């Protein structure tokens, strides 16, 4: 039995942003139509070290995929990334293993891609100022993808370590590093949170009417989001499972009526409205959904087979 193995370079070379956005949109529509089979994710915790999350998914016409992702925040001490993992793919007719690929680039780009879809469909069309809080992997991915969703004239980047913001700002002609988070948030039309913080990274009072906010951080039981912005904003999610407690959902949304949230798929297929007026604060809170990994992995696999990328392991 042949197993296609795709390393980080293979995956990065194969991921096309426009095709990825289309695949993610199709995945969200499948969720909202009830066509996807996505068991709630579960977690194995290693005390005082980190955790492993297991995220399986399937939808008609696709391979079965499961992502195994670890988050060990202390890895910087030994020169390793905090997030590491694999995505395994299986034939939906026979269950045979088909592929194994590095999950890191898929996680980085699919997460930012989903935030970008929310920017495209929920931010004001005349949005001109983008602020990104966090200059790590997600900050870089959001700058690459979200900056394409509107004609931004100014992109502000702020980070706990200012030098990281300075370095990231060099990647885009409209970007500049800002030392003050308050200065970066005030007047922003789109605010992308890309931190690993377990405490709020801004104050709700700094947010202007009409701002669209994206939050992809996951640090339960804490959050990068102030609780009062969650109560003020109109909520958008990948799936209403987001309102369940972690690890299935988001701690920021626990206790909130799931009926108050709108799925991205509902907007994309036209069954629910997006932004209703220019003063509405909209919030896309991501939990990281297995349908996103399925969408990206199926895209990568198809392109790898077509282009002859990767290596073959014999099972």
Is the distance from CB of 292 to CB of 264 less than 8 angstroms?
Answer: no
Q: Are residues 163 and 306 in the same domain?
A: no
Q: Are residues 24 and 132 in the same domain?
A: no
CA distance 315 to 298: 21
Q: Are residues 194 and 283 in the same domain?
A: yes
How many CB atoms are closer than 10 A to CB 65? 28
Full residue range of the structural domain in which residue 245 is found:
115-288
Is the distance from CB of 61 to CB of 68 less than 8 angstroms?
Answer: no
Q: Are residues 178 and 245 in the same domain?
A: yes
Q: Are residues 122 and 71 in the same domain?
A: no
Give 76's pLDDT tier (boundaries 50, 70, 90): confident
Q: Are residues 130 and 100 in the same domain?
A: no
pTM above 0.75, yes or no: yes
| Predicted confidence (pLDDT) per residue in 235-281, tens digit | 999 999 999 998 889 999 988 999 999 999 999 999 999 999 999 99
Q: DSSP characters for 277-290?
A: STT--EEEE----H
Q: Are residues 73 and 218 in the same domain?
A: no
Q: Are residues 174 and 261 in the same domain?
A: yes
Instruction: Using DSSP bridges, classify how beta strands 83-90 and 64-71 pair: parallel, antiparallel or unpaired.
Output: antiparallel
Q: Are residues 229 and 265 in the same domain?
A: yes
Give 220's pLDDT tier (boundaries 50, 70, 90): confident
Residues forming a β-bridge with 234: 282
CATH of the domain at 37: 3.30.1780.10
Q: Are residues 263 and 278 in the same domain?
A: yes
pLDDT at position 1 is 87
Q: Are residues 263 and 136 in the same domain?
A: yes
Q: Are residues 271 and 126 in the same domain?
A: yes
CATH of the domain at 282: 3.40.50.720
In the chain, the number of structural domains is 2
Give 128's pLDDT tier (boundaries 50, 70, 90): very high
Rounded to 5 degrees, φ, ψ at 99 are: -155, 155
């Amino acid at each position: 039995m042949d197993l296609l193995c795709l390393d980080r370079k293979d995956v990065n070379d194969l991921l096309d942003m426009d095709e990825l956005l289309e695949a993610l949109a199709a995945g969200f529509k499948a969720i909202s139509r009830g066509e996807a089979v996505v068991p709630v994710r579960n977690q194995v915790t290693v005390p005082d070290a980190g955790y492993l999350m297991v995220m399986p998914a399937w939808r008609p016409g696709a391979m079965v995929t499961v992502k195994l992702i670890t988050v060990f925040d202390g890895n910087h001490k030994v020169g390793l990334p905090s997030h590491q993992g694999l995505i395994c793919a299986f034939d939906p007719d026979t269950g045979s293993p088909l592929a194994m690929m590095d999950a890191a680039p898929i996680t980085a780009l699919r997460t930012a891609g989903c935030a970008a879809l929310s920017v495209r469909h929920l931010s004001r069309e005349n949005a001109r100022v983008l602020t990104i809080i966090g200059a790590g992997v997600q900050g870089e991915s959001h700058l690459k993808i979200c900056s394409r969703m509107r004609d931004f004239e100014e992109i502000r980047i702020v980070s706990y370590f200012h030098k990281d913001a300075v370095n990231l700002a060099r990647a885009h002609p409209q970007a500049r590093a800002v030392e003050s988070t308050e200065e970066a948030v005030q007047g922003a039309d789109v605010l992308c949170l890309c931190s690993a913080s377990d405490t709020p990274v801004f104050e709700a009072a700094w947010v202007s009417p009409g701002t669209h906010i994206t939050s992809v951080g996951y640090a339960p039981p804490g959050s990068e989001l102030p609780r009062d912005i969650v109560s003020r904003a109109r909520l958008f999610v990948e799936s209403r499972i987001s309102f369940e407690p972690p690890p299935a959902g988001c701690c920021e949304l626990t206790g909130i009526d799931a009926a108050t949230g709108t799925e991205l798929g509902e907007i994309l297929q036209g069954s629910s409205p997006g932004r209703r007026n220019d003063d509405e604060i909209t919030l896309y809170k991501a939990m990281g959904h297995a349908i996103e990994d399925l969408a990206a992995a199926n895209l990568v696999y198809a392109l790898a087979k077509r282009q002859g990328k990767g290596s073959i392991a014999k099972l």
